Structure 1
Amino acid sequence: MVDADQTFVIVGGGLAGAKAAETLRAEGFNGRVILIGDERDHPYERPPLSKDHLLGKKDRESALVHEPAWYAAHDVELRLGQTVTAVDRDAHTVRLGDGTVIRYDKLLLATGSEPRRLDVPGTGLAGVHHLRRLSHSERLRDELKVLGRDNGHLVIAGAGWIGLEVAAAARTYGAEVTVVEYEPTALHRVLGPELGQLFADLHTEHGVRFHFGARVTEITGQDGMVLAVRTDDGEEHPAHAVLVAIGAAPRATLAENAGLALVDRADGGGIAVDASLRTSDPDIYAAGDVAAFEHPALHHRIRVEHWANALNGGPAAARAMLGRDVSYDRVPYFFTDQYDLGMEYSGWAPPGSYDQVVVRGDTGKREFIAFWLDGGRVIAGMNVNVWDVTEPVQKLIRSRAVVDPDALCDPSVPLESLL
């Protein structure tokens, strides 16, 4: 039975919010749980949007976090298609776009992130896409089918994870693909030049064309439709569709307007939270893409825009809201599948944070593990077409042990022995 004396409100209908609601009930909370999402779809996971759902291998129901009936069965009140316009911290209320005011005892902000926009002429043309929502994925999927059938051209602005996953899907459909990227190679800011080049080579072998060292300056069109993409070095690429995949920004406006502490945009932005995912207001928490948290094991503040962070961060925030002793110290993790390459990445190694990259295995065969080191300590690891090593890689990261790079490179040396 629900005890209406306490109300926990979750703003954000994605994976983090849905898993937080699940955890509140699993942990025995019997107050009201209200989950507010600005999409009309029930909460779903986002990785399929650029993977199986985009490729037509799975339907939209397979992406759902819970069956739709789960919410009523667990007394979780869903307010779908609703935008929260304001948080009144003094009154402990949130205001919805339709004027409804809801009081909360504890509030979780799981508002996620949104695609960054290109500030160039032509972005309003039909055929210009972003990828964040199920509807985006389905519109893009329909377009890729047409492009593949008609030998059409897709230009992708950005050679990050989303851009490359969509490039692989587009080539699977048979579309022509050009990727425009300002950095000197793919995934440059994530993996550095050597390993970024490996992914560029993979896509080149599958027919993707890259234009590095350039920025999109204009999308031209005719009769409201995309015709070509121009870059700042004078090049023009034919295009029937464009995907803008230049990163994501945390949706922190609601928190900012409420006066919560934020992290500077130059440091990644987001809502500043402690290791228990609590904001500068003791009754408000944040989780998922929008939360920049003090990581107890990595010893600095990070903001992670990946599935595993939403999956694990939502439950951690829910336990903290219930007064549990929480120290959110999950090692960041993400994965990708492109053509015949599967990859898992653990850790946190932004540019300037490491002084050495070592490789165990054969990069030529694309079967290897790469390690990013700082002062001899492993701070990140990426396994490519090598499986069942995530646990020892994460243990190495957590241990902060100084390791012998030669032993790290040697496949005959068990990773567990380096701890």
Structure 2
Amino acid sequence: MSNPTVVIAGAGLAGATTAVELRARGFGGRILLLGAEEHHPYIRPPLSKEYLKGESDLDDAYVQPADWYTDNDVELLPGTEAGSFDPAAHELFVSGGARITYDSLVLATGAHARPLGVPGSGHGAVFSLRTIEDSQWLRSALEVGSRRVVVVGSGWIGMEVAAAARGYGNEVTVVGRSHVPLAPAIGPELGAVFESLHRDNGVVFRNAAHVVAVEGGDQQAVVLATGEHLAADVVVAGVGAAPNTSVAEQSGLALENGVPTDEGMRTVVEDVYAVGDLANPLLPAIGQRLRNEHWANAIAGGTVAARSIVGEAASYDDIPYFYSDQYDLGMEYSGYAPLAAGARVVFRGDVSAREFIAFWLRDDRVVAGMNVNVWDVQEQIQRLIRSGGPVDPERLTDESVDLAEL
């Protein structure tokens, strides 16, 4: 095959990473990068962090400078939405009815913000946060200050938006279904640390609460199942994301919490790969599939897919990783959520001062770790996770014992 063509359906971080890695691995064929949005590929963390807080420009969010794609002969096609593909003909149908022939197809269609889905939630004062435009609109609404902001959802997006809103001097109430914010992600013990942080910064919580409507008009309010009305100038829906599976579905791919792949990001269809938020890859380290929506996963999956396409023996072996910055607290987390669920949590450092490392232990083996305002320890945390060997919990939590000795 003299000049193979790789078509990447989706121009987010995962799709762009695939293109970058293909060129880095010496792939000399044609690369088409199709994006439904009109932007160059960008990363999403700044949209709920630095940019939303007014601490950075949008230029910092782009994966590569605009001229990188031309300089590296990557055909970027913004505003081009993928439809279905024909596995037998190796053709992808795109918006406008065009067909693109591929040798390898990478599905990188990402995810979308889940709608609030209650009466009255469809009007313009209810914001979601997924795209550049979402962040721009929300930042404009928040930076006015002295407004009543109700954030529906107490996951990572909801908590980061709450911190940004408080930074602009707004009144903030967070409504969450969990009894403790972030509990589904990191458990109630660690979730309580973040709830305390937000309360110390003036955020009001309605935990274990259900939103049933958003009332508009001059007196806009979020209505809870208890009948309570929360007055709101701005409502933010941070109720999670769902993978964009329409291309896969229309093409006959079976779904399993997204698109299942092997450890090399291959789907069950020959020459078709899936990466990023859409993909549900097999992780050999834990012997099961794990789909996650953090930016590090987009980089890892895109890298592995590119290596598989060029014929290398590639396997998804990165440990899931993410970070968050809220007020004066910064944290990093590495680990396997399915193994951490229900695991024993031990602490190294001062939890009350919010300077500590939390370790999740299963059979005295570290399966996850989170450092809070303690830095330059991620390498050691990931080493402990990778080792798979038992550790002494007393030594693990003893700050006088160097992590490198464990």
CA contact (8 A) 1:189 1:351 kept: no
CA contact (8 A) 1:349 1:372 kept: no
Question: Is 180-189 or 3-12 further displaced after alignment?
Answer: 3-12
Structure-2 separation of matches of 1:318 and 1:13? 15
Could you report, residue by residue, the CA deviation over 1:215-261 in whole angstroms, capped at 9, with x for unpaired residues? 111000016xx710011122110001111101111112211221223
2:322 partner letter: F
- Counterpart residue number, 2:269: 281
Check if 1:369 corresponds to 2:362: no
Task: Work out which of the residue numbers 404, 412, 415 in structure 1 matches 2:400.
Answer: 412
Structure-2 separation of matches of 1:295 and 1:161? 24
- Counterpart residue number, 1:233: 226
CA contact (8 A) 1:4 1:32 kept: no
- Counterpart residue number, 2:17: 19
Structure 1 gap segments, 5+ residues each: 264-268
- Counterpart residue number, 1:299: 287
- Counterpart residue number, 1:103: 101
2:143 counterpart SS class: helix
- Counterpart residue number, 1:266: none
CA contact (8 A) 2:34 2:80 kept: yes
Task: Work out which of the residue numbers 165, 177, 185 in structure 1 matches 2:180.
Answer: 185
CA contact (8 A) 1:371 1:381 kept: yes
Structure-2 separation of matches of 1:100 and 1:58? 38
Could you report, residue by residue, the CA deviation over 1:25-84 in whole angstroms, capped at 9, with x for unpaired residues? 111111110000000010011100001111222221221111111111111111101111
Percent identity for Structure 1 against Structure 2: 50
Question: Is 182-191 or 342-351 further displaced after alignment?
Answer: 342-351
- Counterpart residue number, 1:390: 378
Structure-1 separation of matches of 2:99 and 2:88? 14
- Runs of at least 4 residues off by over 6 Å: none
1:319 counterpart SS class: helix
CA-atom RMSD in angstroms = 1.4
Task: Work out which of the residue numbers 192, 197, 200 in structure 1 matches 2:195.
Answer: 200
Question: Is 293-302 or 365-374 further displaced after alignment?
Answer: 293-302
- Counterpart residue number, 2:242: 249
Structure-2 separation of matches of 1:121 and 1:206? 31
CA contact (8 A) 1:13 1:36 kept: yes
Could you report, residue by residue, the CA deviation over 1:340-366 in whole angstroms, capped at 9, with x for unpaired residues? 000000001348744311111110000
Check if 1:154 corresponds to 2:149: yes
Could you report, residue by residue, the CA deviation over 1:89-128 in whole angstroms, capped at 9, with x for unpaired residues? 1111111111111000001111111111122101122211
Structure-2 separation of matches of 1:395 and 1:297? 13
- Counterpart residue number, 1:59: 57
Structure-1 separation of matches of 2:335 and 2:356? 17
Check if 1:172 corresponds to 2:167: yes
1:185 counterpart SS class: coil
Check if 1:216 corresponds to 2:204: no
Deviation at 1:4, TM superposition (A): 7.3
1:411 counterpart SS class: coil
Structure-1 separation of matches of 2:272 and 2:237? 33
Could you report, residue by residue, the CA deviation over 1:131-160 in whole angstroms, capped at 9, with x for unpaired residues? 0100100000000012x0xx2111111111
Deviation at 1:408, TM superposition (A): 1.3
Structure-2 separation of matches of 1:117 and 1:416? 45
Structure-2 separation of matches of 1:34 and 1:42? 13
Structure-2 separation of matches of 1:331 and 1:246? 25
Question: Is 339-348 or 85-94 further displaced after alignment?
Answer: 85-94
- Counterpart residue number, 1:327: 315
- Counterpart residue number, 1:94: 92
CA contact (8 A) 1:159 1:245 kept: yes
CA contact (8 A) 1:8 1:34 kept: yes
Could you report, residue by residue, the CA deviation over 1:354-397 in whole angstroms, capped at 9, with x for unpaired residues? 43111111100000000111111111000000001101110111
**TM-score normalised by structure 1 residue count:** 0.94
Structure-1 separation of matches of 2:78 and 2:55? 27
CA contact (8 A) 1:367 1:386 kept: yes
Could you report, residue by residue, the CA deviation over 1:5-36 in whole angstroms, capped at 9, with x for unpaired residues? 31100011111111111111111111110000
Question: Is 177-186 or 405-414 further displaced after alignment?
Answer: 405-414
- Counterpart residue number, 2:68: 70
Structure-2 separation of matches of 1:278 and 1:288? 13
Check if 1:378 corresponds to 2:371: no
**TM-score normalised by structure 2 residue count:** 0.97
CA contact (8 A) 2:340 2:367 kept: no
CA contact (8 A) 1:11 1:84 kept: yes
Structure-2 separation of matches of 1:230 and 1:208? 18
Structure-2 separation of matches of 1:89 and 1:252? 16
Count of residue pairs brought into register by the alignment: 406
1:303 counterpart SS class: coil
Structure 2 gap segments, 5+ residues each: none
- Counterpart residue number, 2:389: 401
Structure-2 separation of matches of 1:131 and 1:61? 18
Deviation at 1:298, TM superposition (A): 2.2
